[in-house]
């Protein structure tokens, strides 16, 4: 027989927001989007309840994680509609780019579209082949994209992927000098307490700016024979067999 083992993963599933877009440059509209999205429902639907919503670049599998990293604009469609009214939103189309090569990205986009529509957005799916979507990601040519980042073993590495100057790096999702300074400081020290404090400042700033919508981290799942002993699942989703043996 086989035994299924799972653990919290390090691969971050996210919704990218183009903050240079005429609509999404408005922080109230981005915050409304965050209030409109039930990330726990999306995570449960996509992982059969194995993962929960996680909006932070600090994964639950990280030693730096605690519940402060789950603080985020709460799911509240009524508040989302109120913010849209304050922002002067008039029902302009907002397109969510996705693809069918990666089923998870497509299904996340469909779920998000339904939630945004319920909150008053005119959300439309734009289904592309993966190569075209990736080209658009590299060029920053999108309003919203359903996306995912591969595992990073340290939170600074994940922040490093999303932070940057959009004028020189279109793949940067968060163009913030304050956040870049905190990120740089997190790379300049090895003290765990100092680094955790910096990550908390980064997350609080990200919850205020909403430059990206983190959904969940893909759980790492393996199936092993009952004869395999000493095996454990690695959050980075690669099998490790050091110290593993097979019984007779």
Nearest C-alpha neighbor of 14 from the set 109, 143, 110, 91: 109
| Residue 172 structure tokens | 């940067």
Whole-angstrom Cα Rg for the chain: 19
What pLDDT does 232 receive?
A: 75
Residues with Cβ within 8 Å of 105's Cβ and at least 6 positions away in sequence, in order, are 98, 99, 146, 147, 148
- Give the pTM: 0.91
Average pLDDT over residues 195-221: 95
| Residue 219 structure tokens | 């759980």
CA distance 33 to 96: 12
Please give the mean pLDDT across all residues of the chain.
94
Average pLDDT over residues 157-181: 97
Task: Give 243's pLDDT tier (boundaries 50, 70, 90).
Answer: confident
CB-CB neighbours of 160 under 10 Å: 18
CA distance 112 to 117: 8
CA distance 52 to 228: 29
CA distance 112 to 141: 19
Average pLDDT over residues 114-126: 98
What pLDDT does 8 receive?
A: 78
- Percentage of the chain beyond pLDDT 70 is 96
CA distance 93 to 40: 25
Residues with Cβ within 8 Å of 129's Cβ and at least 6 positions away in sequence, in order, are 99, 101
To the nearest 5 percent, what fractions of the chain are helix, strand and coil?
Answer: 40, 25, 40
Report domain 2-152+210-246's class.
alpha beta
CA distance 101 to 9: 21
Contact 137, 16 (CB under 8 A): yes
Task: Give 208's pLDDT tier (boundaries 50, 70, 90).
Answer: very high
What pLDDT does 235 receive?
A: 67
Nearest C-alpha neighbor of 206 from the set 231, 236, 175: 175
CA distance 234 to 214: 21
Residue 145 pairs in a beta bridge with: 16, 97
Residue-wise pLDDT for 17-65, tens only, equals 999 999 999 999 999 999 999 999 999 999 988 899 999 999 999 999 9
What pLDDT does 3 receive?
A: 79
Task: Give 237's pLDDT tier (boundaries 50, 70, 90).
Answer: low
Task: Give 239's pLDDT tier (boundaries 50, 70, 90).
Answer: confident
Average pLDDT over residues 6-13: 84
What pLDDT does 77 receive?
A: 98
Instruction: Categorise residue 164: left if φ over 0, alpha if ψ from -120 to 50, beta otherwise.
Output: left
């Amino acid at each position: 027989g086989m035994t299924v083992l799972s653990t919290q993963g390090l691969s971050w599933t996210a919704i990218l927001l183009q903050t240079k877009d005429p609509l999404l440059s408005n922080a109230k509209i981005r915050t409304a989007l965050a209030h409109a999205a039930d990330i726990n429902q999306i995570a449960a639907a996509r992982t059969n309840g194995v993962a929960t919503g996680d909006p932070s670049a600090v994964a639950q599998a990280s030693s730096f994680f605690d519940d402060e990293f789950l603080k985020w604009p709460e799911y509240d469609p009524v508040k989302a509609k109120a913010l849209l009214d304050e922002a002067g939103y008039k029902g302009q189309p907002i397109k969510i780019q996705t693809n069918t090569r990666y089923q998870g990205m497509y299904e996340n986009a469909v779920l998000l579209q339904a939630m945004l529509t319920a909150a008053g957005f005119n959300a439309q799916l734009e289904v592309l082949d993966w190569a075209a979507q990736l080209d658009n990601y590299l060029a920053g040519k999108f309003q919203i994209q359903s996306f995912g980042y591969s595992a990073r073993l340290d939170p600074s590495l994940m922040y490093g992927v999303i932070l940057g100057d959009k004028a020189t790096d279109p793949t940067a999702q968060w163009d913030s000098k304050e956040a870049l300074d905190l990120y740089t400081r997190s790379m300049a020290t090895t003290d765990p307490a100092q680094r955790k404090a910096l990550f908390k400042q980064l997350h609080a700033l990200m919850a205020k700016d909403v430059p990206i919508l983190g959904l969940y981290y893909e759980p790492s799942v393996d199936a092993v024979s009952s004869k395999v002993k000493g095996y454990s699942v690695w959050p980075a989703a690669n099998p490790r067999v050091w110290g593993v043996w097979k019984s007779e």
